[in-house]
Structure 1
Amino acid sequence: MIDMRRSWLEILLGAILEVVWVSAMKHIHTIIGTLIIVVIIAFSFYLMIDASKNIPAGTTYAVYVGLGSLFVVIAGVLIFHESFNWTKLVFIALLTMGVIGLKLVTDFEERRAH
């Protein structure tokens, strides 16, 4: 159970780091900045890969990408003042429901397996 909890936290942290590197790519124009982005990408991917040791790879990837996308859109609207509309909100809500659903199904399967 501790390993599963740790894996879900790794996915969450990896998704948060995805916001950092995706946002940084738009604003950093130096070699040092690029190297920092590469390190953040590598660490973010490492977290996703490590999480897949305890959570099915498909679920890990879907939740990682889903949360990353969700967080990037939210950061874009709140921090970078990108456009917002209700259609975008509907699709973000669908994405969020999918991520939550995958977590619930995976947790249920894990409990049933033990």
Structure 2
Amino acid sequence: MNWILLIIAGLFEVAFAACLGKAKEANSPESLYWYLGFLICLSCSMILLVKATQNIPIGTAYAVWTGIGAVGTVLLGILIFKEPATFWRLFFLSTLIASIVGLKFVSN
């Protein structure tokens, strides 16, 4: 169950990064809603991370959490914000995913 909480926390990290990107693109009144979304997603992400670290080692949990956030944010940037999907970018993204999966397998 803690791993599920950790994955959801990572997805909320992606969501708060997306809110920041959308707030940057939005005009002034609309950007406030995106910043509110950012704060809500940030809070949910942190609360779930804290709950997950009660039974998962902090080093592993934090690395997986940031890894999910990094991978998700890069994919979001490529798919939504039209950032470039170069070979090296995708290569290193793949190595990051392999490292996250590896940490899961070597953790108790």
Q: Which band: TM-score by shorter chain?
A: 0.7 to 0.9
- How many residues are treated as equivalent by the alignment? 102
| Distance (Å, rounded) in 2 between the aligned partners of 1:36 and 1:85 | 30
Query: Greater CA deviation, 72-81 or 51-60?
Result: 72-81
| Distance (Å, rounded) in 2 between the aligned partners of 1:70 and 1:34 | 22
CA contact (8 A) 2:10 2:68 kept: yes
TM-score by length of 1: 0.83
| Distance (Å, rounded) in 1 between the aligned partners of 2:42 and 2:12 | 8
| Distance (Å, rounded) in 2 between the aligned partners of 1:90 and 1:33 | 31
Give the corresponding residue for 1:3: none
The amino acid of 1:56's aligned partner reads P
| Distance (Å, rounded) in 2 between the aligned partners of 1:33 and 1:79 | 15
The amino acid of 1:21's aligned partner reads F
Structure 1 unmatched runs, 5+: 1-5
Identical-pair percentage: 29
Superposed CA RMSD: 1.3
Give the corresponding residue for 1:96: 97
| Distance (Å, rounded) in 1 between the aligned partners of 2:103 and 2:21 | 31
| Distance (Å, rounded) in 2 between the aligned partners of 1:26 and 1:75 | 10
Question: Post-superposition shift, 1:32?
Answer: 4.1
TM-score by length of 2: 0.87
Structure 2 unmatched runs, 5+: none
